[in-house]
Structure 1
Amino acid sequence: MTDGTRRSARLAWLQAMVSSEGPVRLEAAATALGVSSMTLRRDLARPGLGISLLGGHVVPLGAGQGYALEREETSHLAAKRQAARHAAALVEAGDTLFIDCGTTMPHLAEALRSGIFLTVLCYALNIATLLSRRPQTQLILLGGLFHPASATFASDEALASLRRIRINKAFLSAGGVHPEGGVTCTNFNEVPVKQAAMAAAAQSILVVDASKLGRLKPAHFAAITAFDRIVTSPIADPDAAAPLRSAGILVDEAD
């Protein structure tokens, strides 16, 4: 078998895996194919493929460019607000919080009880704008390079700040919550921040509307078991939450 034939076979296998299973970690694919990660990187550098390498994952061509904050703001709006308000009720006076980015978290920021002192870390411009209006909130904005699609900042200095601070409750958002595929988002630049916040937090709380259950997005950042609870809007289909509850996850539905 020639090198070209072997390469074509590898790419065909990768294409089939991505089509059937979603994004595949580069290292896992290399192990399964019995080649090095560098070999697959060279394979994927060829033009005209339906797959590409993004953030250490093999993904469909163009993945990671489909999320726009403005477009997502009105999607499942009532359910997002319901889940966020339910999550905000978990906050206590004196807490140090991390509030993630996305279109669900602004509703959480707005629902925080007034008149209590809080310290809040965030890295999203829309969240920081809302929190800046709270007179008794000590706001810590994690800066860095600005990513317009999600209105977030990212930098090594932000990650270092997260490692120095102890957080009572980290409220995380996600684009997909899958029993096997884990908790995922669209933008790979968000992954290190989410993971650092979870590592620094006494409690990690996932806040998603029920439409995210069973979905997969390209950027994996945690297993479902990494969360103390999943707060969501009312679930119309009980089968959507059954695998999560079978795994011992506390699925907390808003009233």
Structure 2
Amino acid sequence: MQTRRENRLNKLTRALEEGRSLHLKEAADLLGVSEMTVRRDVATAQARFSFLGGHIVGANDQESSRAYFLYRENSTNVEAKRKACDRAIQLIEPGDVIFLDCGTTLPYMASALTTITPLTVICYSINIAEIICKKPNLKVILLGGEYHPSSASFASDEAMEMLAKIGINKAFISAGGLHFQNGISCSNFHEVRVKQMVMSRAVTNILVMDSTKIGKVKAASFAALDQIDFLTTDDGMDDSHLALFNEAKIVVNPKQV
């Protein structure tokens, strides 16, 4: 007969198989126990679980999760991400065909797509799709392919072929880093060709990014600065950075396109 602890550990295992990670508080709510109890349970099963940045992951997932941990990123710089998205959504007009990139910033933008209709939204990540598919009067195009848990997104040759046939008014692009010499980058190489194809198809490319990422470089470079038209971000940018954007002729936080 299983003990209550064994039952909880098995429930954690099933939850991780479905979602890859759980925040400590989420695990406590799921199991109906305190966070301290969850910590004690996990400590007795180190062959099955690990703690990473306040999250519980499967022991075998720990190394791959270090590269880019989508679920951990969900809780970082939340207000800055919201501000960047609030400014980006002001650039959308009824009738637009827009692309929403993957990551943890643009879901805030997806959530705000309530009054701008008609609108066609192209996406390739689950966290975006599950939001916009529930909204009325939106046409949604979801690109498919191989699933990549690191960013909850898909990629395939078929998706690229589909993108090559779609006209896009405005592409809202996410990034993990923007460097004035090295350009714009992200953490996942499978995203690169999607971003590049979208940017080549879009009339207007808008980078949506919180200011903490300015000056950073990630492994997968996908664009030069002159390939973006606008940047929407929060109010935390240094004046020196703003001067560099002006020099590069990139409009920061435009009122309208």
| TM interval, short-chain normalised | 0.7 to 0.9
Instruction: Count residues in correspondence.
Output: 193
Query: Is this contact kept in 1: 2:65–2:150, CA < 8 A?
Result: no
Query: Is this contact kept in 1: 2:185–2:219, CA < 8 A?
Result: yes
CA distance in structure 2 between the aligned counterparts of 1:133 and 1:124, rounded to whole angstroms: 15
SS of corresponding position for 2:253: strand
Query: Is this contact kept in 2: 1:64–1:186, CA < 8 A?
Result: no
Match of 2:77 in 1: 76
After superposition, the Cα gap between the structure-2 partners of 1:243 and 1:192, relative to the gap in structure 1 and judged at 3 Å, is: same
Structure 2 residues without counterparts, runs of 5 or longer: 1-62
Q: Which moved more, 1:111-120 or 1:166-175?
A: 111-120
SS of corresponding position for 1:102: coil
Letter in 1 for 2:182: G
Match of 1:4 in 2: none
Match of 2:211 in 1: 210
Residue 64 of structure 1 deviates from its aligned partner by 9.3
Residue 71 of structure 1 deviates from its aligned partner by 0.4
SS of corresponding position for 1:74: coil
Residue 115 of structure 1 deviates from its aligned partner by 5.5
Query: Is this contact kept in 2: 1:235–1:253, CA < 8 A?
Result: no
CA distance in structure 2 between the aligned counterparts of 1:77 and 1:191, rounded to whole angstroms: 24
Structure 1 residues without counterparts, runs of 5 or longer: 1-61
Match of 1:224 in 2: 225
CA distance in structure 2 between the aligned counterparts of 1:217 and 1:228, rounded to whole angstroms: 21
After superposition, the Cα gap between the structure-2 partners of 1:115 and 1:225, relative to the gap in structure 1 and judged at 3 Å, is: closer
1:155-170 paired onto structure 2 within 5 Å: 155-170=156-171
Query: Is this contact kept in 2: 1:234–1:253, CA < 8 A?
Result: no
CA distance in structure 1 between the aligned counterparts of 2:129 and 2:112, rounded to whole angstroms: 14
Residue 236 of structure 1 deviates from its aligned partner by 4.4
Match of 2:34 in 1: none
SS of corresponding position for 2:99: strand
Letter in 1 for 2:186: C
Residue 240 of structure 1 deviates from its aligned partner by 2.7
Residue 242 of structure 1 deviates from its aligned partner by 2.3
Match of 2:96 in 1: 95
Query: Is this contact kept in 1: 2:127–2:152, CA < 8 A?
Result: yes
Letter in 2 for 1:143: G
Query: Is this contact kept in 2: 1:178–1:215, CA < 8 A?
Result: yes
CA distance in structure 1 between the aligned counterparts of 2:253 and 2:213, rounded to whole angstroms: 14
After superposition, the Cα gap between the structure-2 partners of 1:178 and 1:145, relative to the gap in structure 1 and judged at 3 Å, is: same
Q: Which moved more, 1:235-244 or 1:151-160?
A: 235-244
Q: Which moved more, 1:108-117 or 1:62-71?
A: 62-71
CA deviations on 1:109-140 (whole Å, 9 max, x unpaired) are 11224261111110000000001011111111
CA deviations on 1:209-235 (whole Å, 9 max, x unpaired) are 011111111110000110110111113
Match of 1:6 in 2: none
Name the % identity.
46
Letter in 2 for 1:228: D
C-alpha RMSD over aligned residues: 1.7
CA distance in structure 2 between the aligned counterparts of 1:157 and 1:225, rounded to whole angstroms: 28
Match of 2:155 in 1: 154
Query: Is this contact kept in 2: 1:233–1:253, CA < 8 A?
Result: no
Letter in 2 for 1:74: S
Q: Which moved more, 1:163-172 or 1:113-122?
A: 113-122
Residue 160 of structure 1 deviates from its aligned partner by 0.6
Residue 81 of structure 1 deviates from its aligned partner by 0.5
Query: Is this contact kept in 1: 2:146–2:156, CA < 8 A?
Result: yes
Displacement over 3 Å in runs of 4+: 62-65
Query: Is this contact kept in 1: 2:123–2:129, CA < 8 A?
Result: yes
| TM-score of the pair, normalised by structure 2 | 0.72
CA distance in structure 1 between the aligned counterparts of 2:238 and 2:99, rounded to whole angstroms: 30
CA distance in structure 2 between the aligned counterparts of 1:87 and 1:151, rounded to whole angstroms: 22
Residue 197 of structure 1 deviates from its aligned partner by 0.6
Letter in 2 for 1:191: V
Query: Is this contact kept in 2: 1:89–1:112, CA < 8 A?
Result: no
SS of corresponding position for 1:164: coil
CA distance in structure 2 between the aligned counterparts of 1:115 and 1:230, rounded to whole angstroms: 21
CA distance in structure 2 between the aligned counterparts of 1:242 and 1:76, rounded to whole angstroms: 23
